Each structure stands twice: as structure tokens, then as C-alpha cells.
Amino acid sequence: MYPALLLAAEPSRLISLGGIDIAIIAIYFVVVLIIGFYLKGQSSTGEDFFMAGREMTAWIAGLSFLSANLGSLELMGWAAAAYQYGILATHWYWIGAIPAMLFLGIVMMPFYYISKTHSVPGYLQLRFGEPSRALSAVSFGFMTVLMSGINMYSMALVMKVVLGWDINFSIWVSSITVAIYVALGGLRSAIFNEVLQFILIWVGALVIPIVGMIEAGGWDGMVARIHQNFPGQDYTHLWSTMGSFTDNPMGIHWTGIVLGLGWVISFGYWTTDFLVVQRVLAAKDLRAAKMAPIIGATFKMFVPAIVILPGLLALAVLPFKLTGEDVALATGGHSYNEVLPIMLARYCGPGLLGLGITALIAGFMSGMAGNVSAFATVWTYDIYRAFWKKDADDAHYVSMGRWCTILGVLVSIGTAYMVMEFKSIMDYVQALFSFFIAPLFGTVILGMLWKRATGPGGFWGLLSGTVASVAMWGWVKMDPSAIRYIALSPNAKDMAENMYRALWSWLICVIVTVVVSLLTEPKPEKELAGLVYGCTEIPSEAQVPMYQRPMFWAVIVIVVFLILQIMFW
């Protein structure tokens, strides 16, 4: 973005709210603050504040697990991506989420839960030692406040474009609200508000696809309109255009989607990003912890209906063409990033409009709260307690968590202004994932599945993968022609580069970890109990009826997932 232009320009308001719309938004802010004050008395211990007492049901943990991801990346970013790339954006919801969420629940959750770790860096400390914990905690903390800044900035931009609100006012009001209710109630408050926000997002966002599909004449009518409006490009097929880099709007080959997104970024995010894993760790028992990602995966399959479909409908029904941010700023037009509020203004009247705007605000605040609560946990347990004050009482760490929440919000405000320097929010987000999430997944998966992996191997693998990813990103920024080596094609777009860069950084992490581990001494197997397959006794589910087993529901979800791939091939 170009902040000077954005802040100097007179707000171009798309929507004017009526009294009932403003009242709905105000009631939402009051309710989330009431929840925070109400739960303050239930968050007096470290286990309560940072882990919600580990007493969440599978449904609460599962909906929170999904809702923590329903921030600006989902609501604004992927609606914009759907307008830019068509139905290909759905890959980030289906192959880029479902297999990984099921893998977390069935394969990885037993080790996270049995070890009773408070965080993913905490697991790395148990498996690989303090150096790996320190590296992952610092990199995760850095990534988390940057991601929180994205949510703050995206919400402020929406409020500026949609309502004409001052961008600074929006940033500070939303961030202060999040700081209050997370600092008061900790993870428990964040989880209950995320479930509330999940409901609001669905109720508010469903208006666009329902009314839009009626206008477009159903799915077939929408597809026909898109082909008529854009005869030279296929925006409506999920896989059939990916045999060549040049046959689809994203400029990507199916290998980039399957390996870069479907394997590395997807599995890295959903199984090692503590922002989402923390919600599952708050489950009341192992079965609830395994079911929570499966429940989340079930709802995740249908999220494209409220996020991707508005972008596709815009391709079919808008009388004007949206452009990239550079062109929009130069011409005074609207950009891809504004497609969701434009469609909201098109279909929503008084009352419904307030509900829709509240759904957007709820999504952004959910993303902010998730990042801030995860940051407070990792900072308190994996940095502050591990390296500065190891022997304080529990009340001291709760107090530190509350102050850290406020500090995290303030730092996130700073990063929100920094995000304005980036032309594309989505490129910024995916670049962060390739830097920190992709190599972390390599380290965690080897640690769980390979007894021979050693502490030095884990540390040097994680470090080399992270450094290599940042170096590849810098190489392409200095020499754009280098994209032919990173993304395997000179025609690749930025998103394709992110997918392949994540794949290379994961491979580098894995190779270095294996080589260093083979050259160093492993831990005795008795020290790996509860941490590694082959050394851990997983509780049997033989006595549980088939329909109550997580594996049974995981199989049903994967079958539906495969049917969807065929339907939209």
C-alpha cells in the first residue's frame, strides 16, 4: 500500500449506516467486553489464563480453532483472491486445510496433549532442547505480532473505504477492545468470543451468496456470466487448468498447489502454528482434542460459500472491473481488496447491513485476539519464564501474561502501520508463512515421527530452513528474473513463488536436520516417551463405539472432501 496516498485522500464512502446498523455494531462491542469482565474471575491461575483450564468441549475447541483463522486473511484477502484468481482460491480452504486439520487431530494431537505442553515451542523444548525452543519462540512471536497488525490494518481499511471512518480511529478502537477482553479473561475469553464471532460471521456473511446467486441465476448462470465477461480466462475450474503454468489466472502448476500449499504450508500452519493449536490444547480430554480439528475441518469445507463465492459473484455481476492496488490508487477506482465490502453494499439494506459490517469486524477482531493470546502464552512460558525468571509463583506469570497482552497489542498497532508499505496483504501473509511456518513443520514432524532426530539436528534444520526462505525472498526482490528458479517458471505470479519457496525451505530444513542428526548422539528412548511415535503408548479406543471414534468422522470428512474436488474439477 501507499500510506501517504491512502491517508491524504478524502475517504470514498461506499455505505452509509442507519441508526439500527450503528446500534448493532455498538451492541457487539459491549457484549465482547461484558464477556471479558465476566470471565476475569475464572482466569486467576496460569492454567486458566493461558490454557482456559483445559476444560473446553470438542465443539467449543473446534469452533474456536476455526474461528481463530477467520480473520482478515479469510474475509477480505480470499474474497479479493477469488476475484483475481477465480475458484483457484478455494484450494486454500480445501487441499490447503482439510488434510492437515485431520492429520493434526489423528496423528499429532496425542503428542501435543499427552506431553501437557503449553505451546509448540514448549514441545520443541521437550523434544530438542532449549536452543530449538528459543529459536521457534522468537520467530513465532515476531510472526504473530506482524499477523495481528495485518488484522488491525485490514479492519481499519475496510472501515475507511466502507464507512469513511478515519483509519487511525478504527485501528485504536478495535485494538483497545481486544486488549481489554483478552487481558481480563485470557484464552478463555478469547475462545468464547471466537465462538460468538464464528456465529456472527456466518449469519452476517451469508447474505451475499444467497442474494447474489439469486441475481446471477444460480451456479450455472454465474458461470455463464463469468465466461461472457472474461472470455479469455477460466475462473471456474479447480484442477483442470493446472496442467500448465500458462492455462490458469494464478500462473501455477498443480505441483505447486499439491506440494507447496497442500503439503508444506498447509500442514505447517494447521499443525504447528500455535495460534490455532492453542485452541485444541484447551480441550478437556484427549478425545475432545482429537475431535476438535475434525469438527473444524467439517465447517472449513463450507467456508468458501461465504468467502470465495462473493469474489466469483463479483466477476459475474459487477458492471465495472476491479484492479490491482496500484491501478486503483492511480485512477481513483476500486481494488481487489474492496470486493467484499462492495458486494456487501450491493445486497444489504438497513439492519442486514449492520449485521454484515459486524460480521466483518468480528472476523478481524477474532484474528487479532487469536494472535495476541498466542503471543502472550509463548512470551510468558517460552521466553520470559525460560530465560529470565524461572522460579516465580503462578500469580506472577498470570500478571506477566496480562501485561504482555497489552504490550502485544501496542506492538501490533505499530506493525499495522508497517503493513501499509506492502502492495499486497496476501503476498505479505504467505511470505511470512514461508519464512516461519514451513521450516517449523519440518522440525516438528521429524521430531514426532523419527526417534533418531537429535537436538542439534532440530535446531540447525529449523535455522537453515528459515534463513534459506528469507534469502530466496530477498533474491527475487533484488532480481525479479530469479523467480524462474524459485517458482520453476518465468510466468509464475507472486502467489506461486510463495508456494515453491515454502517447499524449498521445508526440504532444506529436513535435509539439514537428517544430516546433523546422523552425525550427533540421539536421546535414549526412555527420554522420548510421550514425544515420539514408537516410544509413546497411545490410549486405545477399542472400547469406544465406532461412531464415537475420531477416525470414523475423519474418514467421512475426507470422503466429502474428495467429492468436492471432483464436483468442481
Q: Taking a C-beta distance cutoff of 8 angstroms, is the pair 65, 292 a contact?
A: yes
316 occurs within a structural domain: yes
Which pLDDT belongs to residue 258? 85
Q: Which of 190, 113, 193, 3 is nearest to 536 (CA)?
A: 113
Q: Is the dihedral of CA 344, 348, 351, 355 positive or negative?
A: negative
66 occurs within a structural domain: yes
Q: Taking a C-beta distance cutoff of 8 angstroms, is the pair 434, 498 a contact?
A: yes
pLDDT in tens, 298-351: 988 888 888 889 888 988 888 777 666 556 555 556 677 778 878 877 777 666
Encode burial over 520-554: b for 16+ CB neighbours within 10 A, e otherwise: eebbeeeebebbbeeeeeeeebeeeeeeebbeebb
Count of alpha carbons within 13 angstroms of residue 525, beta-carbon side: 8
Q: Is 309 helix (H, G, I), strand (E, B) or coil?
A: helix
Q: How far apart are CA 213 and CA 380, in angstroms?
A: 48
Query: Which CB contacts under 8 angstroms, 24+ apart, belong to 201-204?
Result: 201/67, 201/70, 201/75, 201/306, 201/359, 201/362, 201/363, 201/366, 202/306, 202/359, 203/355, 203/359, 204/355, 204/356, 204/357, 204/358, 204/359, 204/360, 204/362
223: its cell numbers: 458461470
Q: Is the pLDDT of residue 503 over 50?
A: yes
What total number of domains does the chain contain? 1
Q: Taking a C-beta distance cutoff of 8 angstroms, is the pair 274, 446 a contact?
A: no
339: domain CATH number is 1.20.1730.10
Q: How confident is the model at residue 13 (pLDDT cuts 50, 70, 90)?
A: low
511 occurs within a structural domain: no
Q: How far apart are CA 195 and CA 152, in angstroms?
A: 20
Q: Taking a C-beta distance cutoff of 8 angstroms, is the pair 246, 484 a contact?
A: no
495 occurs within a structural domain: no
76 occurs within a structural domain: yes
Q: Is 68 helix (H, G, I), strand (E, B) or coil?
A: coil
Q: Which of 403, 401, 408, 413 is nearest to 188 (CA)?
A: 401
pLDDT in tens, 506-523: 999 999 999 999 999 988
217 occurs within a structural domain: yes
Q: Is the pLDDT of residue 550 over 80?
A: yes
Distances (CA, A) of 54 to 247, 286, 349, 503: 49, 10, 42, 34
Q: How confident is the model at residue 562 (pLDDT cuts 50, 70, 90)?
A: very high
- pTM for the full predicted model: 0.76
92 occurs within a structural domain: yes
Range of the domain at 191: 3-41+58-421+545-567
Q: Is the dihedral of CA 306, 308, 310, 313 positive or negative?
A: negative
pLDDT in tens, 35-55: 777 766 666 665 656 555 566
pLDDT in tens, 413-459: 777 776 665 555 666 677 777 788 888 888 988 988 898 999 999 99
3-state SS, one letter per residue, for 454-507: CHHHHHHHHHHHHHHHHHHHHHHHHCHHHHHHHCCCCCCCHHHHHHHHHHHHHH
The single-letter DSSP state of residue 538 is P
What is the DSSP secondary-structure string of 92-108? GTTTTTHHHHHHIIIII
18 occurs within a structural domain: yes
Q: Is the pLDDT of residue 200 over 80?
A: no
Distances (CA, A) of 70 to 146, 283, 314, 508: 16, 20, 21, 31
Q: How far apart are CA 36 and CA 56, in angstroms?
A: 17
Q: How confident is the model at residue 11 (pLDDT cuts 50, 70, 90)?
A: very low
